[in-house]
Amino acid sequence: MLYVIKLLSVNLSLAMLLITNAFSELWMYYDCIETELGSIMLLADHQGLRRLTVNSPGYYPDESWQHNPSFMRPFIRQLKEYLLGSRKRFTFPLAPQGTMFQQQIWHAIADIPFGETSSYEQIALDIGNSAASQAIGMAKNVNPIPIIIPCHRVLNSNQNLCGYRYGAEMVELLLALESGNAILIKEPQHEIA
């Protein structure tokens, strides 16, 4: 009888470990930094970065999200490096939620090199759908990871800074950063946490 109880105890412990690991994969973590653009909140899980918000009044972390600077450190470090002008490409995994078509558009936008711009028409050609310019504008406006998926690099055919969720001023600042004419992090530290 003791052997059966120990076996059940071991199996129960293993089951609890598996359940704990499964749920840890579902947890969402966040952290915030202060920048010249405003307060930026990053949200990620074990699949990658899910969301980035800038000065979003009324947007608060969900009760189920955990403030976890340790987990968020790689995301925050790379964002700070970018805002200092020293990082040209992000290497952490991205996990934005959207339709397959939106994902395709965001992937094409993410491929626009640092310091360069593209047009709606060019992105449409890049995804193989020359009639998709309007849909690209819509996907751009619901991009859950602005800056990282650089919608600020997508300009209209007249090279105007319009259609960016956070406004033309932020586009100007981000493009100035990428041309070497701005630093967008408050009080740059010697060591990036």
Rounded (5°) CA angle 103-144-68: 120
**Residue 10 burial class via C-beta count within 10 angstroms: exposed 0-12, middle 13-18, buried 19 and up:** exposed
Give me the active site residues, please. 151
- Tokens of residue 28, six digits: 């969402």
| Cα dihedral 144, 114, 161, 78 in deg (nearest 10) | 40
